[in-house]
Amino acid sequence: MTDERKRPLALSAYEQLADDYAERAPTKPFNADLERPTTQGLLPDVSGMDVLDVGCGPGITTEYLLDEDAAVTGIDASPSMLSHAREHAPGAEFLRCDFGEGLPFESNRFDLVYSSLAFDYVSDWDSLFSELARVLRADAPLVFSCGHPIGDFLHFDPENYFETEIVSEVWTSFGDPVEVPTYRRPLSAILNPLLGAGFHLDRIEESRPTEAFREKAPETFERVSREPTFLSVRAVMTAN
């Protein structure tokens, strides 16, 4: 019998979501006008860089990186998402990979690792960041986003803020309702694995909505202007 817990946490959910996600995420306010501008704002000039897009989904950021003249390798656990990514960003290389279980690349391979809201589906961040440190060259940046620990605490209302635990919610904005599990964790469980892997923290940003968000979702704009939703981080690998 297959142990479902050995599968990537949200694989089944994203296989169900893939088609509608690929269609709607490029313009959906929480993606296009809240998380992506914040996280992409932490990127350096990527021209000429060899970039790993971790949890690339349907290739939205992959395409952006290609347009900025980077060479991009995208990895994701979902075959359906990768199918869309190959159509969306044909100039990139793509590989199916459960990045929570290690990376199939040689050490010192990449100039930059980027990840948009994908690490929240991984339990062991000590191993995750150690692997990212291994495949990055010295002085190379890691730019990623995740759920904001305060925003997640307010949203999921757990009994204990300090626990790292699986939570879930039903997504209704990508077509048919789909229950999506994720990990919620405190700030210390975000930053300490990063620092322990040899990164130093360069900058953090807490997502703020753009004016485009206000135009698309005025009923939500005031809340996300006052309460944090996503945390975006830039860290630099200094010792491989």
Q: Could you tell me the residue ranges of all domains in the chain?
A: 4-237
Placement of tokens 């635990």 in the chain: 165
The reported pLDDT for the residue numbered 7 is 78
The reported pLDDT for the residue numbered 2 is 38
Structural Rg of the chain based on CA atoms: 17
- For residue 109, give the nearest of 71, 144, 143, 82 by alpha carbon: 71
Question: Residue 102 and residue 5: Cα distance in Å, rounded?
Answer: 16
Phi-psi region of 150 (alpha: psi -120 to 50; beta: other; left: phi over 0): alpha
Per the CB < 8 A criterion, the answer to whether 100 and 121 are in contact is yes
Count of CA atoms in the C-beta half-sphere (13 A) of 215: 6
The reported pLDDT for the residue numbered 240 is 52
The reported pLDDT for the residue numbered 239 is 61
- pTM comes to 0.95
Per-residue pLDDT of the chain (240 residues; tens, 9 = 90+): 334 446 799 999 999 999 999 999 999 999 999 999 999 999 999 999 999 999 999 999 999 999 999 999 999 999 999 999 999 999 999 999 999 999 999 999 999 999 999 999 999 999 999 999 999 999 999 999 999 999 999 999 999 999 999 999 999 999 899 999 999 999 999 999 999 999 999 999 999 999 999 999 999 999 999 999 999 999 998 765
Cα–Cα distances (Å) from 167 to 63, 106, 128, 239, in that order, read: 31, 34, 20, 34
Cα–Cα distances (Å) from 63 to 19, 80, 139, 145, in that order, read: 17, 17, 25, 18
Beta strand spans in 65-137 (E): 71-76, 93-96, 112-115
Q: Strand pairing of 112-115 and 199-206?
A: unpaired
SS3 call for 186: coil
SS3 call for 137: coil
Per the CB < 8 A criterion, the answer to whether 126 and 100 are in contact is no
Helix 187-196 with 125-135: angle, nearest 10 deg: 40
Encoded tokens for 163: 């626990």
- For residue 229, give the nearest of 125, 153, 171, 157 by alpha carbon: 153
CA triple 52-56-59, angle to 5 deg: 110
The reported pLDDT for the residue numbered 79 is 97
Question: Residue 195 and residue 61: Cα distance in Å, rounded?
Answer: 25
In CATH, what is the architecture of 4-237?
Answer: 3-Layer(aba) Sandwich (3.40)
